[in-house]
Structure 1
Amino acid sequence: MQQAEIGLIGLGVMGSNLALNIAEKGNRIAVFNRTPSRTDEFLGEAGDLAGQIIGCHTIEEFVAAIRPPRPIIIMIKAGEAVDQQMAALMPYLSKNDIMIDAGNANFRDTVARFEKLAGTDLTFIGMGVSGGEEG
């Protein structure tokens, strides 16, 4: 299986649209959602772009589907859910992998996550994205 160039966690309105935009630009993308049925639904909605998308049902499968160094966009509700998702990812990540929090976190949360990963071989980027169903 050809590995993805990038991964995205969270297939809500913003995450699913971002994943489709990435695939539309010719990039292979791996996607994961905490509910596997949403991943399957998303793949069914992807139309002609489905061939560019690797739908994953487990974190381990998701990480393995991305070519290192792995850029992983986390597009889920800000707060504790991001910390939980990062903790779930970390056992499977490798040196130079990048976690990008694209939720609109409080800047103090972003600083705390950055500090938590300081001294590791992983990179954290806080990159709040605004928008929603209407853009």
Structure 2
Amino acid sequence: MAPTRIGLAGLAVMGQNLALNVAEKDFPISVYNWTTSKVDETIERAKLERNLPVYGFHDPASFVNSVQKPRVIIMLVKAGSPVDQTIATLSAYMEKGDCIMDGGNE
């Protein structure tokens, strides 16, 4: 798999739908969620919806490394400590110039 241009962490309703929408516009996207069943569910939906270019990862290192540099990762996780935990987890594998965008709305 070639590196994707964008990553998305957080696959609840908003995250899953945004990932599929991005892929529907022919932008391959990498996805990650703490709950790995959400990753699998998103990949299944992508296959059913015209075999969209969505690539799922169960561990943060593989997820971050699947995105081309400089990395752009959208984060859609619940407000509060999950935001801090996700930033800390992903940042451990990111480099100078990479970007995490918090798209949460709480």
Regarding TM over 0.5, the answer is: yes
Task: Give TM-score, length-normalised by structure 1.
Answer: 0.74
Q: 1:67 is paired with a residue of what secondary structure?
A: coil
Normalised by the size of structure 2, how large is the TM-score?
0.93
Q: Secondary structure at the match of 1:20?
A: helix
Question: Which deviates further from its counterpart, 28-37 or 47-56?
Answer: 47-56
Q: What CA distance in whole angstroms lies between the structure 2 residues aligned with 1:10 and 1:22?
A: 14
Q: Does 1:25 align with 2:63?
A: no
**Residue of structure 2 in register with 1:72 after alignment:** 73
Tell me the matched-pair count.
105
Query: What is the aligned-residue identity percentage?
Result: 45
SS in 2 for 1:54: strand
Q: State the 1:95 CA deviation.
A: 1.6
Q: Give 5+ residue unaligned stretches, structure 2.
A: none
Contact 1:71 1:98 in 2 (8 A): yes
Show the 5 A alignment for 1:1-135: 1-46=1-46, 47-104=48-105
Q: Which segments of 5 or more consecutive residues in structure 1 lack a partner in the other structure?
A: 106-135
Distance in structure 1 (CA, Å) of the matches to 2:10 and 2:50: 18
RMSD: 1.2
Higher relative contact order (CA 8 A, sep 6+): 2
* Runs of 4+ that moved beyond 6 A: none
